[in-house]
Amino acid sequence: MIRIHDTLSGTKTAIPDVPKLRLFVCGPTVYDRPHIGNARTFVAFDLFVRWLRSRRMNVFYLQNITDIDDKIIDRAKEEGIAWNTLARRYENIFLENMNQLGVISVDRYARAADFIPEIVAQVKTLIEKGHAYRIEGDGWYFDITTFPEYGKLARRTAAQAEDATSRIDASDRKRNRGDFALWKFPDPARPDEPRWPSDDLGAGRPGWHIEDTAITGHFFGPQYEVHGGAMDLKFPHHEAEIAQQESASGLSPFVAIWMHSGFLTVDGAKMSKSLKNFVTIDDLLARHSASAFRMMVFMHHYRSPLDYTETLALNAEKNLETLAVFAAKLGMAAGAAAPRRAFGEFEKTFHAALEDDFNTPAALAATFDYVAALQDGLFELDPREAAAAAKGLTDLFATFGIDLTPPKIPEKAREIAARREESRGSKQFKQSDALRNELNALGYDIEDTPKGPFLWPRKNHS
């Protein structure tokens, strides 16, 4: 049984046993290049979905793209281009970055601008049921006092729920400070902003929160299994989603499980361009591999904070290399010793950790325990166990998009290693040392093993 921490109940809840698990994760607002905070969330959920599918679970993974937003409109105006031209540019960059990071599990990306009829229909329903009101010259707003449970996800009282407003929700004519925009009328100061005609609502554009529930309502209906996103969206965004959907449908709960990924900071501080610690995905990939970043995310529980530093990135590289080296050496192992710890035993421990709130650090700890148990007698392993372990470990991490495939050693390096082996066999140790130095100069370390020389690229992890 797979149990996940549900933010709403505060308890670990079994994932519903359904023919198709429906998962929605809040996607990006496409007005700038995505950063590693975005990457942490999307990689964490990609790891999760890949694993669920590896356990033969049928998952439909939906993610929205917010392509209507004040930030998009303002930046497009600065650049002198249409809002949708700017949105498409950064949407394409986002999708390219996701592909580079190995985020391949999303079944459907849904742009807000493609679901205007669904958004209008949901706003109309909220109006008809008495949950929304009109402010002339401004827009339609959700009245949070009509939904007594507003604040239940973030555990805020009605008064505390009034403490924050969200994007495009500011208005001094709202009934309550915490009320939020459902549909915004055109702003005379923004003649180029997008607007859609509506006989029922008046020409305008959607608020932020209504995009997601209209999209999920279209694909999933009024209730579904898992809703995910970054921790900073819990309030007011996800709180507003609950109020909208449960008010519109009259059904509760909106979703069975709320999954929230932890915050990402950089060198102990919130990412900010003014602090010069803003790291885009492009910046990251210029210095580290996608597998290294995926390992970094795997090293942290998805709900825990992650403080990105170069030291942490290098530690992720080292963990990745340790496992890759171990898998490569297993491929060389042979002998007649009795099997030690079977791979299947380790695999059960690994998956048991993930079944308990997707505890990737515990799964990784089990992996290194397994490595340590086999390390000393690695080249004395039964060849069948060695082969099973090498393939099993590589395949297991490939499930998560973490590549343990050994690097291809060039013919020249292999030829020098063979000559060195001959020199060692002839006890020509000075020549052997010279050939080692020659390999080092080519960028390779060599290790002498009972099964012959083992070559690996030299890396500086200090």
Walk along the chain (462 residues) and give the pLDDT tens digit of each residue.
999 999 999 999 999 999 999 999 999 999 999 999 999 999 999 999 999 999 999 999 999 999 999 999 999 999 999 999 999 999 999 999 999 999 999 999 999 999 999 999 999 999 999 999 999 999 999 999 999 999 999 998 655 655 555 555 667 889 999 999 999 999 988 888 999 999 999 999 999 999 999 999 999 999 999 999 999 999 999 999 999 999 999 999 999 999 999 999 999 999 988 888 999 999 999 999 999 999 999 999 999 999 999 999 999 999 999 999 999 998 887 544 444 557 889 999 999 999 999 999 999 999 999 999 888 888 888 888 888 888 999 999 999 999 999 899 999 999 999 999 899 889 888 999 999 999 999 999 999 988 889 999 987 544
Region of 151 on the Ramachandran plot (φ > 0 left; ψ -120 to 50 alpha; else beta): left
Strand 132-135 relative to strand 139-142: parallel, antiparallel, unpaired?
antiparallel
Residue 443 backbone phi and psi in degrees, to 5: 100, 25
Based on the domain organization, do 391 and 420 belong to the same domain? Answer: no
Based on the domain organization, do 8 and 75 belong to the same domain? Answer: yes
Q: How many domains, the chain?
A: 3
Query: Residue 393 has which token pair?
Result: 């470990």
Side chain identity, residue 214: A
Based on the domain organization, do 223 and 96 belong to the same domain? Answer: yes
Query: Residue 398 has which token pair?
Result: 């490939």
Angle (CA) 351 357 359, round 5°: 60
Q: List, in sequence order, every residue forming a beta bridge with 61; answer none if it has no partner.
A: 23
Based on the domain organization, do 239 and 160 belong to the same domain? Answer: yes
432 within a domain of the structure (yes/no): yes
Based on the domain organization, do 208 and 337 belong to the same domain? Answer: no
pTM of the model: 0.94
Based on the domain organization, do 328 and 437 belong to the same domain? Answer: no
Nearest-angstrom CA–CA distance, 461 and 34? 27
443 within a domain of the structure (yes/no): yes
Per-residue DSSP letters for 34-53? -BHHHHHHHHHHHHHHHHHH
Element (H, E) at 109: strand 108-111
Side chain identity, residue 445: D
Task: Provide the domain limits for residue 452.
Answer: 411-457
Based on the domain organization, do 349 and 448 belong to the same domain? Answer: no
